[in-house]
Amino acid sequence: MRKAAVAAVAAAAAVGVALLVRRQVREAKRWGRAAAVLRDLEERCAAPPARLRQVADAVAVEMHAGLASEGGSKLGMIISYVDSLPSGQEKGLFYALDLGGTNFRVLRVQLGGKEGRVVKQECEEISIPTHLMTGSSHELFDFIAAALAKFVASEGEDFHLPEGRQRELGFTFSFPVKQSSIASGTLIKWTKGFSIDGTVGEDVVAELSRALDCQGLDMKVTALVNDTIGTLAGGRYDDNDVVAAVILGTGTNAAYVERANAIPKWHGLLPKSGDMVSVIASS
């Protein structure tokens, strides 16, 4: 009986080992197939220097074509009308409005020049009610202007506006716009869930200025930019060597400093700086 029991235990153990080995073999085959798939993906997605140079050359060709003429490239090479960037020596009180999604931000900053830099800044983020994203243009901009007026009213004693000087506002508007000057541009189309037909083809700065006037707010929009230019300007303020900025989000866009005389489709007078910020819009 004892020998029979030992034999039974041995047989069970052997069966267990066989099952374990079989399972390990199956898992090894499965992992082997997975490893083969990963190796194939690695080979297909590899970016050796030679391929990267090809991509860079192809992008450069498209950039030059886009700077030469409208619609001449797969890339949207947009002239920003921004011919100078912050130097870090700016002084005064400035406001900013950033509209680029379901929330918008308002900011004020007191700049103290090269020595003082950013003396103080305050920012507030406001959610846009869903119905205003598909309502009328007047309703949307009136809501934004009212929030901005409330924010301005909370301006403390740490912020100083020289007497007789009008408050200046930088407007970051991250939607497709055909710009016609540093402070004007017509909306091409809404994106990011907005759908307000009345604004398409209209000057968004004029619409915002109308709403500010209705609030009795003595404020002038001095610059209309998108988020890539805002990022570039912020980088330049901290480091004079910054020449480009990239946004990786809903779309992939970039802004960089180009020589104005290298933009054939620019028909205005060459700026004193000789530079012009260009925007590469891929989506």
**pLDDT tens profile 179-193:** 889 999 999 888 888
Which residue among the candidates 29, 192, 220, 265 is catalytic per the annotation? 192
Is there a single domain that holds both residue 99 and residue 75? no
Note the pTM of the prediction, 2 decimals.
0.77
pLDDT at residue 41 above 80?
Answer: yes
How many domains does the chain contain in total? Answer: 2
Residue 139 in domain: yes
Domain that holds residue 178: 84-225
> Residue 256: phi, psi to the nearest 5?
-150, 165
Statement to judge: residues 98 and 221 lie in one domain:
yes
Cα-based distances in Å from 67 to 119, 131, 271, 278: 39, 39, 17, 9
Q: Is 197 tagged catalytic?
A: no
Residue 164 domain flag: yes
Residues 261-274: tens digit of each pLDDT: 999 999 888 999 99
**Looking at the DSSP assignment, which residues form a beta bridge with residue 119?**
none
Q: Residue 31 falls within a domain, yes or no?
A: no
Q: Do 95 and 220 fall within a single domain?
A: yes
pLDDT of 168 reads 94
Whether 211 has a pLDDT exceeding 90, the answer reads: yes
Report yes or no on 259 lying in a domain: yes
Q: Which of 98, 142, 203, 227 is catalytic?
A: 227
Task: Kindly state whether residue 12 falls inside one of the protein's structural domains.
Answer: no
Residue 30's pLDDT is 76
| Mean pLDDT confidence for 29-45 | 81
pLDDT of residue 36: 85
User: Is the per-residue pLDDT at 6 higher than 60?
Assistant: no
Q: Please report whether residue 236 resides in a domain.
A: no
Query: Is the domain of 88 the same as that of 221?
Result: yes
The enclosing domain of 211 has a CATH number of 3.30.420.40
Claim to verify: residue 179 and residue 138 sit in the same structural domain:
yes
- Mean pLDDT for 154-170 is 88
Q: Is the residue at 21 inside a domain? A: no
Question: Which range among 18-27, 124-133, 167-176, 220-229 shows the weakest confidence by mean pLDDT?
Answer: 18-27
The answer to whether residue 2 scores a pLDDT higher than 60 is no
Residue type, 42: E
Whether 94 and 218 map to the same domain: the answer is: yes
Of the three residues 180, 195, 225, the one that is the final residue of a domain is 225
pLDDT per residue over 70-98, tens digit each? Answer: 888 888 888 889 999 998 889 999 999 99
- How far apart CA 68 and CA 85 sit, in angstroms, is 24
Residues 124 and 171 in one domain: yes
Question: Looking at the structure, do residues 188 and 70 belong to the same domain, yes or no?
Answer: no
Q: Are residues 165 and 93 in the same domain?
A: yes
For residues 215 and 111, membership in a common domain is answered with yes
Q: How far is CA 27 from CA 35, 36, 39, 261, in A?
A: 12, 14, 18, 64
Do 254 and 279 meet the contact criterion of CB atoms below 8 Å apart? yes
Query: What tokens were used for 125?
Result: 């983020």
Q: Let me know if 227 is a catalytic residue.
A: yes
Provide the edge-to-edge strand list for the sheet that holds 118-127: 118-127, 103-112, 91-99, 167-173, 219-225
Whether residue 161 is found in the same domain as residue 279: no
Which residues are CB-contacts of 12 (< 8 A; sequence separation ≥ 6)?
none
187 and 117 within one domain: yes
Average pLDDT of span 31-42: 82
d(CA 170, CA 105): 12
- For residue 147, is it within any domain? yes
